[in-house]
Amino acid sequence: MAYRRAVSLLLRRSECVSNPCTPRLLKSSNISSQTLRFHDHCIRTTRSVHTCTPLMVARLLSVDELFAKRSLQEYLKKMETEYDECLRETEEQSNEDELRARRIRASLLAPLIHSIRELNTKQKDFAETETLLKDEDPALRELAELERESCLQHIRDLSQKILDLLIPEEEADLSDLVLEVTAGIGGQEAMLFSAEMFDMYQGYAQHQGWSFDILEHTTSEIGGLRHASASISGPQSYKRMKFEAGVHRVQRVPKTEKQGRMHTSTMTVAVLPQPTEIFHDQPEGPEDRNEESKGAGGQHVNTTDSAVRIVHLPTGVVAECQQERSQLKNREKAMKALRAKLYSMKLEEETSKRYNQRKIQIGTKGRSEKIRTYNFAQDRVTDHRIGMTVHDVKNFLLGEDLLDEMNSSLQEFSNQETLIELLGENDQEGS
């Protein structure tokens, strides 16, 4: 094996001589230095980012730490066995539906299995190359060192690809969403902060290239927001926004404070998945709704005169809209919000048992029930679920790169939690 590898390296040497521009790979001491790709930006960033005690997983594990888990290796072997069984069509399997189901399952598993087997091949190549590093020929040792680095890079890439393929896609992640913000404890200051947060999400939607359609916008006397909602549509909009749901706390000296005292206020965010296609198992008939409208809804009437309020009678869920002068448009927007709320209720009910520990609840809007704190005096934003702090509150509230980095980190922790959960379930099935 090592002899064959040496011949391969010598042939490659001639290619390197004929192409002097071939770049050398960076040297690496061992594989274990590579961490999961989905949190590399925390290392590369020049901004002040640090972590404290997280409330989700303890820390992000490296690729090697995950692959060292016996549960992961057993799970991968289990997937390979299932794949081979799906391809094995015996005479006993005369049922056409069963054969079709096996073929579909095999096609779904194929990318994962091919990556696993390619990784096994690269690991064998790496072991052979390690042997050649002890050869007496210095030229061969040099080529072996280059080949070693190439194998390491392939092993890292394939390992990360396998972990990514293991994370199941959630149906709701492909949805658009309805965003709701509501002022919590803190009076006028809470309403002012709610307005800033709503503007932040509008800026974030613009930054991501999503559409942002306001459904409801109820202001306070001094320009704050009591409540507002918007429909957001665009690629991965719900997937990127879902971790914003919960209680957000602000600590600062309000504009309404004359003695310069620090106040703590809260507001809540709800992120409701909006399916791209209307689901057919929700009651849509007029007998299931109570619709209230104001005025004739002509083109030139005031928006409050064309407001529409819809109550879903079986559940008591309410949706309303008064943003448009057209009563028809208000009705369409209110129906969109109603469907999102009903879909969210159904989704929560179906997944509460499995994901109860990971679901982010709004709670009672209390100051202690927070997912994130915006402290203006210390110029920091801290997400308490993963213990991540980002400095520069004003830039964060623009809804651009800093908010995107925070959401990326939340997604990274969630991905690892999902993987560990999956491996835990596999352990229980095997026991």
pLDDT tens, residue by residue, 408-428: 999 989 888 888 888 875 555
Considering only CA atoms, which of 427, 413, 346, 404 is closest in space to residue 167? 413
* pLDDT over 90 at 36, yes or no: no
**Element at 306 (helix H, strand E):** none
Give the model's pLDDT for residue 73.
Answer: 93
Split at pLDDT 50, 70, 90, the class of 205 is: very high
Q: Can you list the positions of beta strands (E) in 133-235?
A: 176-183, 211-219, 225-233
Comparing 10-24, 95-109, 304-318, the range with the smallest average pLDDT is 10-24
**In whole angstroms, what is the distance from residue 347 CA to residue 202 CA?**
25
CA distances from 216 to 10, 122, 220, 234, 291 (A): 70, 56, 13, 20, 17
DSSP, res 168: P
Give the largest CA-CA distance in the chain: 93
From 88-92, 172-176, 177-181, 239-243, the region with the lowest mean pLDDT = 88-92
Is the pLDDT at 40 greater than 90, yes or no? no
Q: What pairing do the DSSP bridges indicate for beta strands 246-252 and 49-51?
A: unpaired
CB atoms within 10 A of CB 359: 12
What pLDDT, on the 0 to 100 scale, is given for residue 358?
33
Buried b (16+ CB within 10 A) or exposed e, 57-69: beebbbbbebbee
- Element of type H or E holding 48: none
> Where in the sequence of the chain do the CATH 3.30.70.1660 domains occur?
174-418
| Among 171-185, 330-344, 359-373, the least confident range | 359-373
Rounded mean pLDDT of the chain?
Answer: 77
Which residues are registered as beta bridge partners of 311? Answer: 290, 318
- What is the reported pLDDT for 190? 94
Closest Cα partner for 57 from 391, 429, 413? 413
Strands 308-312 and 225-233: unpaired
Structure tokens at 309: 């309020």
Per-residue pLDDT band for 72 (boundaries 50, 70, 90) equals: very high
Q: Which residues of 96-132 are buried (b: 16+ CB within 10 A; e: fewer)?
A: eeeeeebeeebeebeebbebbebbeebeebbebbeeb
pTM score over 0.75 = no
CB 365 within 8 A of CB 268: yes
**314 or 115: which leads in pLDDT:** 115
For 321, the token pair is 């809209």
Query: CA-CA distance, 60 to 15, in Å (whole number)?
Result: 40
**What is the structure's pLDDT at 199?**
97
Q: Determine the Cα–Cα distance for residues 107 and 21; give it in Å rounded to an integer.
A: 40
Mean pLDDT of 176-184: 92
Higher pLDDT, 230 or 341: 230
- For the chain, give the percent of residues with pLDDT over 70: 71
Residue 293 is predicted with a pLDDT of 61
Report residue 309's pLDDT band, with 50, 70 and 90 as the boundaries.
confident
Confidence of residue 94 (pLDDT cuts 50, 70, 90): low
Per-residue pLDDT for 189 more than 90? yes
Assigned architecture for domain 174-418:
2-Layer Sandwich (3.30)
Distance CA 128, CA 122 (A): 10
